[in-house]
Structure 1
Amino acid sequence: MVVTNNAYAAQGGGPMAGHGFIHDHLEIKFLILYIAARVIESVPFDAMLELTLCDDAIDYFDFSDCLADLVKTDHLTLSDDGLYAITDKGRRNSEICESNLPYSVRLRCDRNLSDYNRRLRRKSQVQASSIQRPNGTWTVALCLSDDMGSVMDMELMMVREDMAKAVEKRFRQSPERLYGQIVDLLLSDGQDEESEK
Protein backbone atom coordinates (compact mmCIF):
# COMPACT_ATOMS: atom_id res chain seq x y z
CA MET A 1 0.00 0.00 0.00
CA VAL A 2 1.37 3.39 -1.03
CA VAL A 3 0.92 6.20 1.50
CA THR A 4 1.30 9.75 0.17
CA ASN A 5 3.15 12.39 2.13
CA ASN A 6 -0.12 14.20 2.83
CA ALA A 7 -1.85 11.08 4.14
CA TYR A 8 1.14 10.25 6.31
CA ALA A 9 1.24 13.79 7.70
CA ALA A 10 -2.49 13.77 8.36
CA GLN A 11 -1.98 10.73 10.58
CA GLY A 12 0.48 12.78 12.63
CA GLY A 13 3.47 11.31 10.85
CA GLY A 14 6.49 12.71 9.12
CA PRO A 15 7.08 14.61 5.90
CA MET A 16 4.38 16.53 4.10
CA ALA A 17 3.92 17.44 0.46
CA GLY A 18 5.95 20.22 -1.10
CA HIS A 19 9.61 21.14 -1.07
CA GLY A 20 10.10 23.29 1.99
CA PHE A 21 11.73 23.27 5.40
CA ILE A 22 8.67 22.62 7.60
CA HIS A 23 8.32 18.85 7.91
CA ASP A 24 5.54 18.02 10.39
CA HIS A 25 2.51 19.36 12.25
CA LEU A 26 4.56 20.30 15.31
CA GLU A 27 6.74 22.61 13.21
CA ILE A 28 3.62 24.19 11.65
CA LYS A 29 2.37 24.91 15.17
CA PHE A 30 5.72 26.46 16.08
CA LEU A 31 5.45 28.65 12.98
CA ILE A 32 1.86 29.72 13.73
CA LEU A 33 2.85 30.67 17.29
CA TYR A 34 5.91 32.53 15.98
CA ILE A 35 3.61 34.59 13.73
CA ALA A 36 0.88 35.12 16.33
CA ALA A 37 3.47 36.43 18.80
CA ARG A 38 4.61 39.09 16.33
CA VAL A 39 1.47 40.48 14.70
CA ILE A 40 0.50 43.78 16.30
CA GLU A 41 -3.20 42.92 16.64
CA SER A 42 -5.59 39.98 16.43
CA VAL A 43 -5.91 38.64 12.89
CA PRO A 44 -8.54 36.74 10.88
CA PHE A 45 -8.12 33.21 9.51
CA ASP A 46 -7.17 34.37 5.99
CA ALA A 47 -4.38 36.62 7.26
CA MET A 48 -2.97 33.87 9.49
CA LEU A 49 -3.09 31.47 6.53
CA GLU A 50 -1.34 33.93 4.22
CA LEU A 51 1.44 34.53 6.73
CA THR A 52 1.89 30.83 7.52
CA LEU A 53 2.13 29.72 3.89
CA CYS A 54 5.65 31.13 3.68
CA ASP A 55 7.01 27.60 3.33
CA ASP A 56 6.21 25.44 0.29
CA ALA A 57 5.72 22.28 2.35
CA ILE A 58 2.66 23.63 4.18
CA ASP A 59 -0.81 23.17 2.72
CA TYR A 60 -4.23 24.53 3.66
CA PHE A 61 -5.51 21.39 5.39
CA ASP A 62 -2.42 20.90 7.56
CA PHE A 63 -2.56 24.57 8.52
CA SER A 64 -6.28 24.41 9.42
CA ASP A 65 -5.78 21.34 11.62
CA CYS A 66 -2.84 22.90 13.45
CA LEU A 67 -4.60 26.22 13.97
CA ALA A 68 -7.66 24.48 15.44
CA ASP A 69 -5.43 22.40 17.74
CA LEU A 70 -3.70 25.53 19.05
CA VAL A 71 -7.07 27.02 19.96
CA LYS A 72 -8.14 23.77 21.68
CA THR A 73 -4.93 23.69 23.73
CA ASP A 74 -5.27 27.36 24.77
CA HIS A 75 -2.21 28.56 22.87
CA LEU A 76 -4.46 30.84 20.80
CA THR A 77 -7.85 32.42 21.36
CA LEU A 78 -10.57 32.76 18.74
CA SER A 79 -12.93 35.69 19.25
CA ASP A 80 -16.62 35.75 18.32
CA ASP A 81 -15.80 37.86 15.28
CA GLY A 82 -13.24 35.33 14.01
CA LEU A 83 -9.96 36.90 15.12
CA TYR A 84 -7.02 34.88 16.43
CA ALA A 85 -4.70 36.08 19.19
CA ILE A 86 -1.88 34.45 21.12
CA THR A 87 -2.30 33.66 24.83
CA ASP A 88 0.36 33.92 27.55
CA LYS A 89 0.77 30.14 27.31
CA GLY A 90 1.24 30.39 23.56
CA ARG A 91 3.75 33.22 23.90
CA ARG A 92 5.84 31.27 26.45
CA ASN A 93 5.90 28.17 24.25
CA SER A 94 6.70 30.25 21.18
CA GLU A 95 9.75 31.74 22.87
CA ILE A 96 10.95 28.28 23.87
CA CYS A 97 10.37 26.66 20.47
CA GLU A 98 11.15 29.38 17.92
CA SER A 99 14.78 28.27 17.61
CA ASN A 100 13.49 24.95 16.22
CA LEU A 101 12.24 26.76 13.12
CA PRO A 102 14.69 26.85 10.21
CA TYR A 103 16.50 30.18 9.99
CA SER A 104 15.48 30.74 6.35
CA VAL A 105 11.81 30.26 7.26
CA ARG A 106 12.09 32.77 10.11
CA LEU A 107 13.73 35.31 7.79
CA ARG A 108 10.99 34.98 5.18
CA CYS A 109 8.35 35.08 7.88
CA ASP A 110 9.87 38.23 9.43
CA ARG A 111 9.79 40.01 6.07
CA ASN A 112 6.12 39.10 5.57
CA LEU A 113 5.27 40.14 9.14
CA SER A 114 7.00 43.48 8.71
CA ASP A 115 4.93 44.23 5.62
CA TYR A 116 1.69 42.99 7.20
CA ASN A 117 2.21 44.98 10.42
CA ARG A 118 2.99 48.08 8.35
CA ARG A 119 -0.35 47.67 6.55
CA LEU A 120 -2.17 47.20 9.88
CA ARG A 121 -0.63 50.38 11.27
CA ARG A 122 -1.52 52.27 8.12
CA LYS A 123 -5.10 51.04 8.28
CA SER A 124 -5.46 52.21 11.88
CA GLN A 125 -3.88 55.60 11.12
CA VAL A 126 -5.98 56.39 8.03
CA GLN A 127 -9.72 56.01 8.48
CA ALA A 128 -12.59 57.12 6.28
CA SER A 129 -16.28 56.34 6.58
CA SER A 130 -19.62 57.76 5.47
CA ILE A 131 -23.18 57.70 6.79
CA GLN A 132 -26.40 58.99 5.32
CA ARG A 133 -28.15 61.91 7.00
CA PRO A 134 -31.93 62.05 7.52
CA ASN A 135 -32.22 64.61 4.72
CA GLY A 136 -30.63 62.23 2.18
CA THR A 137 -27.18 63.80 2.04
CA TRP A 138 -24.05 62.05 3.30
CA THR A 139 -21.51 62.82 6.01
CA VAL A 140 -17.94 61.70 5.27
CA ALA A 141 -15.68 61.37 8.31
CA LEU A 142 -11.93 61.52 7.63
CA CYS A 143 -9.27 60.83 10.26
CA LEU A 144 -5.47 60.84 10.03
CA SER A 145 -3.34 59.95 13.04
CA ASP A 146 0.24 59.03 13.88
CA ASP A 147 2.06 57.51 16.84
CA MET A 148 1.49 60.71 18.84
CA GLY A 149 -2.29 60.83 18.28
CA SER A 150 -4.73 62.56 15.98
CA VAL A 151 -3.33 64.71 13.15
CA MET A 152 -6.64 65.60 11.50
CA ASP A 153 -10.33 64.87 12.08
CA MET A 154 -12.74 66.29 9.54
CA GLU A 155 -16.35 65.82 8.46
CA LEU A 156 -17.65 66.82 5.05
CA MET A 157 -21.15 66.89 3.63
CA MET A 158 -21.69 65.24 0.25
CA VAL A 159 -24.94 65.32 -1.70
CA ARG A 160 -24.64 61.78 -3.12
CA GLU A 161 -23.34 58.42 -1.95
CA ASP A 162 -21.03 57.98 -4.95
CA MET A 163 -19.38 61.32 -4.12
CA ALA A 164 -18.95 60.25 -0.49
CA LYS A 165 -17.32 56.96 -1.53
CA ALA A 166 -15.03 58.77 -3.97
CA VAL A 167 -13.86 61.14 -1.20
CA GLU A 168 -13.23 58.15 1.11
CA LYS A 169 -11.14 56.40 -1.56
CA ARG A 170 -9.15 59.52 -2.45
CA PHE A 171 -8.40 60.24 1.20
CA ARG A 172 -7.15 56.68 1.84
CA GLN A 173 -4.83 56.92 -1.18
CA SER A 174 -2.97 60.08 -0.14
CA PRO A 175 -4.04 61.45 3.25
CA GLU A 176 -0.74 63.21 3.98
CA ARG A 177 -0.80 65.08 0.68
CA LEU A 178 -4.38 66.22 1.24
CA TYR A 179 -3.52 67.24 4.79
CA GLY A 180 -0.61 69.30 3.48
CA GLN A 181 -2.77 70.98 0.87
CA ILE A 182 -5.37 71.93 3.51
CA VAL A 183 -2.69 73.34 5.82
CA ASP A 184 -1.08 75.28 2.94
CA LEU A 185 -4.45 76.75 2.02
CA LEU A 186 -5.23 77.75 5.61
CA LEU A 187 -1.79 79.30 6.10
CA SER A 188 -1.73 81.20 2.81
CA ASP A 189 -1.68 84.97 3.20
CA GLY A 190 -4.44 85.60 0.69
CA GLN A 191 -2.12 87.04 -2.01
CA ASP A 192 -3.68 84.80 -4.64
CA GLU A 193 -7.10 86.22 -3.87
CA GLU A 194 -5.75 89.78 -4.04
CA SER A 195 -4.09 89.15 -7.39
CA GLU A 196 -7.36 87.89 -8.84
CA LYS A 197 -9.17 91.15 -8.00
Structure 2
Amino acid sequence: MPGKGFVQDELDLKVLILYIAARVIEPVPFDTILDLTLCDDAIDYFDFSECLRDLVDTGHLTLSEEGLYAITEKGLRNSKICESSLAYSVRLRCDKNLEAWNRKLRRKNQVKAAYEKRSNGTFTVKLNLQDDMGELLGLQLMVPREDMAKAVATRFQKTPERLYSTLLSMLLQDEE
Protein backbone atom coordinates (compact mmCIF):
# COMPACT_ATOMS: atom_id res chain seq x y z
CA MET A 1 0.00 0.00 0.00
CA PRO A 2 1.20 3.54 -0.65
CA GLY A 3 2.02 5.42 2.54
CA LYS A 4 0.50 8.91 2.01
CA GLY A 5 -2.67 8.55 4.10
CA PHE A 6 -3.79 7.17 7.42
CA VAL A 7 -4.67 3.72 6.06
CA GLN A 8 -1.29 2.02 6.24
CA ASP A 9 -1.92 -1.69 5.71
CA GLU A 10 -4.51 -4.28 4.71
CA LEU A 11 -5.90 -4.53 8.23
CA ASP A 12 -6.58 -0.77 8.29
CA LEU A 13 -8.30 -1.04 4.92
CA LYS A 14 -10.44 -4.00 6.01
CA VAL A 15 -11.48 -2.12 9.15
CA LEU A 16 -12.41 0.88 6.99
CA ILE A 17 -14.48 -1.29 4.63
CA LEU A 18 -16.30 -2.87 7.58
CA TYR A 19 -16.85 0.57 9.13
CA ILE A 20 -18.54 1.69 5.91
CA ALA A 21 -20.52 -1.53 5.38
CA ALA A 22 -21.85 -1.30 8.95
CA ARG A 23 -23.24 2.18 8.33
CA VAL A 24 -24.70 2.02 4.84
CA ILE A 25 -28.47 1.47 5.14
CA GLU A 26 -28.82 -1.28 2.53
CA PRO A 27 -26.65 -3.66 0.52
CA VAL A 28 -24.61 -1.81 -2.10
CA PRO A 29 -22.63 -2.65 -5.24
CA PHE A 30 -18.85 -2.78 -5.56
CA ASP A 31 -18.57 0.74 -7.02
CA THR A 32 -20.41 2.28 -4.10
CA ILE A 33 -18.20 0.66 -1.47
CA LEU A 34 -15.16 1.68 -3.52
CA ASP A 35 -16.31 5.31 -3.76
CA LEU A 36 -17.05 5.46 -0.04
CA THR A 37 -13.72 3.83 0.82
CA LEU A 38 -11.60 6.19 -1.30
CA CYS A 39 -11.62 8.79 1.46
CA ASP A 40 -7.95 8.34 2.25
CA ASP A 41 -5.05 9.02 -0.13
CA ALA A 42 -3.28 5.76 0.73
CA ILE A 43 -5.99 3.50 -0.71
CA ASP A 44 -5.60 2.01 -4.15
CA TYR A 45 -8.04 0.03 -6.26
CA PHE A 46 -6.16 -3.27 -6.28
CA ASP A 47 -5.63 -3.37 -2.52
CA PHE A 48 -9.28 -2.45 -2.03
CA SER A 49 -10.47 -5.25 -4.36
CA GLU A 50 -8.32 -7.82 -2.61
CA CYS A 51 -9.46 -6.76 0.87
CA LEU A 52 -13.11 -6.74 -0.16
CA ARG A 53 -12.78 -10.26 -1.57
CA ASP A 54 -11.04 -11.40 1.64
CA LEU A 55 -13.86 -9.98 3.77
CA VAL A 56 -16.39 -11.97 1.73
CA ASP A 57 -14.24 -15.12 1.92
CA THR A 58 -13.93 -14.82 5.72
CA GLY A 59 -17.66 -14.24 6.24
CA HIS A 60 -17.49 -10.59 7.30
CA LEU A 61 -19.44 -9.50 4.21
CA THR A 62 -21.85 -11.25 1.89
CA LEU A 63 -22.06 -10.86 -1.86
CA SER A 64 -25.51 -11.45 -3.34
CA GLU A 65 -26.24 -12.80 -6.81
CA GLU A 66 -27.17 -9.23 -7.80
CA GLY A 67 -23.63 -8.10 -6.91
CA LEU A 68 -24.57 -6.31 -3.68
CA TYR A 69 -22.38 -6.36 -0.58
CA ALA A 70 -23.80 -6.45 2.94
CA ILE A 71 -22.21 -6.81 6.34
CA THR A 72 -22.77 -9.96 8.41
CA GLU A 73 -23.13 -10.32 12.19
CA LYS A 74 -19.49 -11.38 12.31
CA GLY A 75 -18.53 -8.27 10.35
CA LEU A 76 -20.58 -6.03 12.67
CA ARG A 77 -18.94 -7.50 15.78
CA ASN A 78 -15.44 -7.07 14.40
CA SER A 79 -16.20 -3.59 13.07
CA LYS A 80 -17.33 -2.42 16.51
CA ILE A 81 -14.22 -3.84 18.13
CA CYS A 82 -11.79 -2.32 15.62
CA GLU A 83 -13.36 0.96 14.45
CA SER A 84 -11.58 3.05 17.09
CA SER A 85 -8.29 2.14 15.40
CA LEU A 86 -9.30 4.21 12.34
CA ALA A 87 -7.94 7.73 12.25
CA TYR A 88 -10.51 10.24 13.44
CA SER A 89 -10.18 12.31 10.26
CA VAL A 90 -10.88 9.23 8.12
CA ARG A 91 -13.97 8.41 10.18
CA LEU A 92 -15.22 11.98 9.82
CA ARG A 93 -14.83 11.89 6.03
CA CYS A 94 -16.51 8.49 5.88
CA ASP A 95 -19.39 9.67 8.03
CA LYS A 96 -19.93 12.72 5.82
CA ASN A 97 -19.87 10.60 2.64
CA LEU A 98 -22.11 7.95 4.22
CA GLU A 99 -24.65 10.55 5.28
CA ALA A 100 -24.96 11.82 1.71
CA TRP A 101 -25.11 8.30 0.27
CA ASN A 102 -27.71 7.08 2.78
CA ARG A 103 -29.82 10.15 2.03
CA LYS A 104 -29.77 9.20 -1.67
CA LEU A 105 -30.69 5.60 -0.86
CA ARG A 106 -33.60 6.69 1.35
CA ARG A 107 -34.82 9.04 -1.36
CA LYS A 108 -34.62 6.29 -3.98
CA ASN A 109 -36.70 4.01 -1.76
CA GLN A 110 -39.28 6.69 -1.00
CA VAL A 111 -39.90 7.98 -4.54
CA LYS A 112 -40.95 5.49 -7.20
CA ALA A 113 -42.04 6.20 -10.76
CA ALA A 114 -42.59 3.68 -13.52
CA TYR A 115 -44.65 3.30 -16.64
CA GLU A 116 -45.98 0.43 -18.71
CA LYS A 117 -47.63 0.04 -22.07
CA ARG A 118 -51.32 -0.84 -22.12
CA SER A 119 -53.01 -3.10 -24.64
CA ASN A 120 -54.61 -0.12 -26.42
CA GLY A 121 -51.22 1.52 -27.09
CA THR A 122 -51.40 4.13 -24.33
CA PHE A 123 -49.22 4.12 -21.23
CA THR A 124 -49.95 3.95 -17.51
CA VAL A 125 -47.60 5.98 -15.31
CA LYS A 126 -47.45 4.84 -11.69
CA LEU A 127 -46.19 7.39 -9.17
CA ASN A 128 -45.58 6.63 -5.52
CA LEU A 129 -44.27 8.76 -2.65
CA GLN A 130 -43.60 7.30 0.80
CA ASP A 131 -42.13 8.43 4.07
CA ASP A 132 -41.13 6.50 7.19
CA MET A 133 -44.78 6.05 8.18
CA GLY A 134 -46.02 4.68 4.85
CA GLU A 135 -47.50 5.81 1.56
CA LEU A 136 -48.16 9.54 1.14
CA LEU A 137 -49.23 9.44 -2.48
CA GLY A 138 -50.11 6.72 -4.95
CA LEU A 139 -51.22 7.89 -8.37
CA GLN A 140 -51.78 6.24 -11.75
CA LEU A 141 -52.13 8.32 -14.87
CA MET A 142 -52.90 7.36 -18.45
CA VAL A 143 -50.88 9.16 -21.09
CA PRO A 144 -51.08 8.66 -24.86
CA ARG A 145 -47.35 8.40 -25.69
CA GLU A 146 -44.22 6.81 -24.25
CA ASP A 147 -42.20 10.05 -24.33
CA MET A 148 -44.89 11.68 -22.20
CA ALA A 149 -44.87 8.74 -19.77
CA LYS A 150 -41.10 8.97 -19.43
CA ALA A 151 -41.24 12.75 -18.91
CA VAL A 152 -43.92 12.46 -16.21
CA ALA A 153 -41.98 9.74 -14.38
CA THR A 154 -38.72 11.69 -14.57
CA ARG A 155 -40.24 14.96 -13.36
CA PHE A 156 -42.02 13.24 -10.51
CA GLN A 157 -38.78 11.66 -9.32
CA LYS A 158 -37.09 15.07 -9.22
CA THR A 159 -39.78 16.92 -7.23
CA PRO A 160 -42.45 14.59 -5.83
CA GLU A 161 -43.14 16.92 -2.92
CA ARG A 162 -44.21 19.63 -5.34
CA LEU A 163 -46.91 17.42 -6.88
CA TYR A 164 -48.01 16.24 -3.44
CA SER A 165 -48.40 19.76 -2.04
CA THR A 166 -50.07 21.08 -5.21
CA LEU A 167 -52.57 18.21 -5.23
CA LEU A 168 -53.28 18.64 -1.54
CA SER A 169 -53.77 22.40 -1.94
CA MET A 170 -56.14 21.90 -4.85
CA LEU A 171 -58.15 19.27 -3.02
CA LEU A 172 -58.43 21.32 0.18
CA GLN A 173 -59.19 24.60 -1.54
CA ASP A 174 -62.67 26.01 -0.92
CA GLU A 175 -64.85 26.22 -3.99
CA GLU A 176 -65.99 29.69 -4.94
TM-score, reference length from structure 2? 0.97
Partner of 1:110: 95
Give how far 1:190 is off. 2.6
Aligned pairs for 1:67-78 within 5 A: 67-78=52-63
1:164 equivalenced with 2:136 (yes/no): no
1:18-167 map, 5 Å: 19-167=4-152
* Aligned equivalents of 1:53, 1:143: Cα separation in 2: 34
1:98 partner amino acid: E
Q: TM-score, normalised by structure 1?
A: 0.87
**2 CA distance for matches of 1:168 and 1:45?**
28
What SS does the aligned partner of 1:20 have? coil
Higher relative contact order (CA 8 A, sep 6+): 2
Gaps of 5+ in 2: none
DSSP-derived class of the 2:55 partner: helix
Match of 1:17 in 2: 2
- Aligned-partner Cα distance in 1 for 2:121–2:51: 49
What RMSD over aligned residues (CA atoms) do the two structures have, in Å? 0.9
Instruction: Report the Cα offset of residue 19 of structure 1.
Output: 2.0
Q: In 2, distance between residues paired with 1:126 and 1:147?
A: 12
Q: How far did residue 132 of structure 1 move?
A: 0.8
Amino acid at match of 1:173: K
Q: CA deviation at 1:18?
A: 5.8
Aligned equivalents of 1:136 and 1:60: distance in 2?
Answer: 48
Aligned partner letter, 1:149: G
Measure, in 1, the Cα distance between the counterparts of 2:90 and 2:110: 30
d(CA) in 2 for partners of 1:144, 1:106: 33
Structure 1 portions without partners, runs of 5+: 1-15, 192-197
Give 1:189 shift.
2.2
CA distance in 2, matches of 1:59, 1:157: 50
Give the SS at the match of 1:151: strand
Structure with bigger gyration radius = 1
- SS of the residue 1:110 aligns to: helix
How far the C-alpha of 1:135 sits from its partner, in A, is 1.3
Q: Residues 134-176 of structure 1, C-alpha deviation per residue, up to 9 Å, x if partnerless?
A: 1111111100011111000000011111101100111011111
